Amino acid sequence: MLDHTHVPAAASWVDGTRGHPDFPIQNLPLGVFRQGGGTPRVGVAIGDQVLDTRAAVELGLMDGLDPASRLALTAGALNDWMALPPAARTALRHAVFALLDADHPGRARHASLAGQLLRQQAQCELLLPADVGDYTDFYAGIHHATQVGRLFRPNSPLMPNYKHVPIAYHGRASSIRPSGSPVRRPTGQVRTAAGVDVPALRPSAQLDFELELAIWIGPGNALGAPVPLAAAADHAAGYGLLNDWSARDIQAWEYQPLGPFQGKNFASTVSPWVVTADALAPFRCAPMARGGDDPELLPYLRDEADAAAGGLSIALEAWLSTARMRELALGPCRLSASDARHLYWTPAQMVAQHTLGGCNLRPGDLLGSGTISAPDDSGHGSLLELTRGGTRPIELPSGETRLFLEAGDEIALTAHCRRDGFARIGFGESRARIID
């Protein structure tokens, strides 16, 4: 649903927000911040600042909202906000928009309270947006699945189930960290040589990133009560960026027969701002077109609204900065430019699939989309693809080369949405540096 919060001419009275590349008033993503060791508070990004929503509630500026929404804004995590019904999340967005809107009749009073309402983002610690009950990682990036599958099975890269069922695995919730937390290279069992079934204990020599979309779950469902596809979109409360770090050598030795485990569970890095489903409304698009040889979907994965606008058009990028590049004052280099359009399955299809057998989702659960690669070489969402399985080094502006990540390497994932007639909005970033 498009409404006045999407009008591109709208602007905030907060300085420097008009035309802000990520956080103009049309975005209003939520997050959790802390200042100087204080308690975590919910905030909304506006330009380079953070609106302290608890302060807004305490100043009586959110009195038009229902009590559950006001309570969610004074919590220390976004789980309560995610638990709100979609209409309440939309009403909350409108209330925040009104507070920050330069054209609002109360503008003068609102602006006079800026000192109590606003914090500089740069002076805040941005925390994990929610307490993640469960983290599930899908495998919906079909170009990634194809390119990785081709490394192992040149003639049949995609498994027979791929185009029938949104494949996923359960990931580790405890090791999810917000942008900025360093990632320690894991030690693990790896094969002593390719094709040799004898392991050695070593620090991973094949540490990789994965460019993924994060989907934050809203109200969720009771155990045993599947969410039908037509209702599934209401359960995706917001979106972020997820780097599902992977140790390819550990993964290759461990993954049969039960899938990835220690090749993944040492860390996942998520961006701190939750871009709401409402903010993304202008950027909905049709899901990836099925080809003539693609199988017909089972009815539970088909829904007219989802087939018309269940996809998302989000430009996604991955950037690398090495220690040497920083010494040379070279900026990060872009490794990948992809788009959420390259997902074979929509977020709603993921929710419908996840709950099909009765599995319950809870507010604050996190879904990863799977690595989103473009169909061409400019948009590989992992080094595994960029280096053809670790065989072709990539060259960096510093004269260095990389097959996989080294100590001091920093990966930043970024994303933004653009469409004619709408303000550009961005996701901020998921950034982390490798330490040994």
Tell the smallest beta-carbon distance from residue 191 to a copy of itself (Å).
9
In angstroms, the CA 379 to CA 391 distance is: 18
* 20 contacts a copy of itself (rule: CB under 8 A): no
Name the one range near a copy of itself by CB under 8 A: 234-242, 248-256, 321-329, 416-424.
248-256
Tell the smallest beta-carbon distance from residue 256 to a copy of itself (Å).
5
What does the DSSP 8-state code read for residue 389? T
* 184 contacts a copy of itself (rule: CB under 8 A): yes
The count of other CB atoms within 10 Å of the CB of residue 7 is 15
- Number of chain residues interacting with a copy of itself (CB under 8 A): 63
Residue 243, classed as helix, strand or coil, is strand
Closest CB to a copy of itself among 151 and 307? 151
Tell the smallest beta-carbon distance from residue 65 to a copy of itself (Å).
28
CA dihedral 7, 349, 265, 372 (to 10 degrees): -60
Burial (0-12, 13-18, 19+ Cβ within 10 Å), 60: exposed
- Catalytic residue numbers read 144
In the window 358-377, what residues touch a copy of itself (CB under 8 A)?
358-362, 365
CB 300 within 8 A of CB 356: yes
Contact partners, residue 137, CB within 8 Å, separation at least 6: 168, 169, 170, 171, 212, 244, 264, 367, 368, 370
* 250 contacts a copy of itself (rule: CB under 8 A): yes
In the window 132-171, what residues touch a copy of itself (CB under 8 A)?
133-134, 136, 139, 149, 159-161, 164-165, 167-171
Burial (0-12, 13-18, 19+ Cβ within 10 Å), 336: buried
* 265 contacts a copy of itself (rule: CB under 8 A): yes
Closest CB to a copy of itself among 122 and 161? 161
β-bridge mates for residue 238, sequence order: 216, 276
In angstroms, the CA 377 to CA 336 distance is: 8
In the window 266-285, what residues touch a copy of itself (CB under 8 A)?
266-267
In angstroms, the CA 303 to CA 65 distance is: 32
Name the one range near a copy of itself by CB under 8 A: 21-29, 257-265, 276-284, 391-399.
257-265
Closest CB to a copy of itself among 134 and 317? 134
Which residues lie near a copy of itself (CB under 8 A)? 133-134, 136, 139, 149, 159-161, 164-165, 167-175, 177, 184, 186-189, 197-201, 204, 223-224, 226, 247, 250, 253-262, 265-267, 295, 298-300, 353-354, 356-362, 365
